[in-house]
Structure 1
């Protein structure tokens, strides 16, 4: 099976390794490969002969208008090229709760991407994931004022990137679901709690202030926005946050 992955970052680079180890012909393409999904440059050549395309691209700008235009143009070019090439499965990675956080321009853009895929000509699978453990540090940095991190106690149910890779790879190698699959970590925890656990592990000396008004991608959270949808039969990953922290390099 030939699989083409657009995006060779945290998830794409790991998916390549896993799928290649299973004996498949796979390549992950980043911007340095001379392919521009926003203009369509090189896309047709990249997907020629592919059985599966996995879209892990992300906008270089998170300004509301920019990110919406990115996902609309990128997705449209991919689907058009895939139709011409006879690709049989289009997989995207989206976000659990995107439809509940429409105050966020980024979430609106991901919904637009999903809608294009759903209405498009290619059998598809949409994988909605919760936030990755690896980005808790970035959430902390975004909420930092001086030496204090403002973080909401609203719940997040984050997941290890290696578990995301496991599920995305399995879905890419399987039959298109022509629908949405949700995946999440095993624990729903307050974002403030996650940041405190991270700092305890890394030795970060910033203090953490619980703040219900602390935003998330421009939206205010409650305890249900970023956890699996009731009745969605989400796939729950095995790795806990503490397990993931323990697997990282020790302080010093």
Structure 2
């Protein structure tokens, strides 16, 4: 089966590519380096020739809602329109658990807009919502450089990106599901505590300032980003992942 992966060199996308390779699928990685620009649509028609499924793991780390919304909706439309022309039978989108329960956060509103584009498109679809990845505390700490790390108070169930990649590959190889079962990590954590543990493991001295993000503080503290009901459960804990990535 020929499957294309948008964002195939990213945190999750590279694991999707690895999982598809292991399963014996032919993988087309959609990158500018291979002549494909999903943001403009250039090269997509040729890249999707013969493709049966597309997995979209594209991401944009930007706090400006307008920019993120434009990126997500535009890239999704380009993938769906080119997919329709190429006869793609399954479009798989990676999204976020609880994205509809924290409406005060612009990034999540952008992901909801992207989901709406996919759901209204002409290609049969599956949306896989995942909890935060183990890499998330590092991404948060890296967003604002300096001696103080600003970290939101958040309950979460972090999941290994590799396990999400395996799941996305599995979903892509099957029929369109609409709303696929969510995927979450094995253990609930506090994001602030994860940030402290990450810094200790890296031997870095930095003050972590816990904050409530405007409009989302109550949602994040109250567990809005935790699975609501049954979810596929990963097995790798944050501490296990941390020990592995910080081995000298």
**Shared fold (TM-score, shorter chain, > 0.5):** yes
Any stretches of 5+ residues in structure 2 without a counterpart? none
> Which residue of structure 1 aligns with residue 190 of structure 2?
190
> Which residue of structure 2 aligns with residue 225 of structure 1?
224
Q: 1:174 to 1:245 in 2, by over 3 A?
A: same
Alpha-carbon distance, 1:62 to partner: 4.4
Q: 1:94 to 1:246 in 2, by over 3 A?
A: same
Residue pair 1:93, 1:128 contacting (<8 A) in 2 also: yes
> Which residue of structure 2 aligns with residue 76 of structure 1?
77
The answer as to 2:153 corresponding to 1:156 is: no
Deviations 1:215-238 (A, max 9, x none): 39x843223121112x2x111100
For normalisation by structure 2, the TM-score amounts to 0.90
Q: 1:31 to 1:135 in 2, by over 3 A?
A: farther
Task: Spell out structure 1 runs of 4+ moving beyond 4 A.
Answer: none
Alpha-carbon distance, 1:163 to partner: 1.1
Alpha-carbon distance, 1:164 to partner: 1.0
Residue pair 2:128, 2:182 contacting (<8 A) in 1 also: yes
Aligned CA RMSD, in angstroms, stands at 2.0
Structure 1: distance between partners of 2:96 and 2:201 = 27
Structure 2 counterpart SS, 1:99: coil
For normalisation by structure 1, the TM-score amounts to 0.89
Alpha-carbon distance, 1:243 to partner: 0.9
> Which residue of structure 2 aligns with residue 234 of structure 1?
231
Deviations 1:147-172 (A, max 9, x none): 34343443121111111111111111
Spell out the pairing of 1:126-145 with structure 2 (5 A cutoff).
126-142=127-143
Structure 2: distance between partners of 1:143 and 1:156 = 21
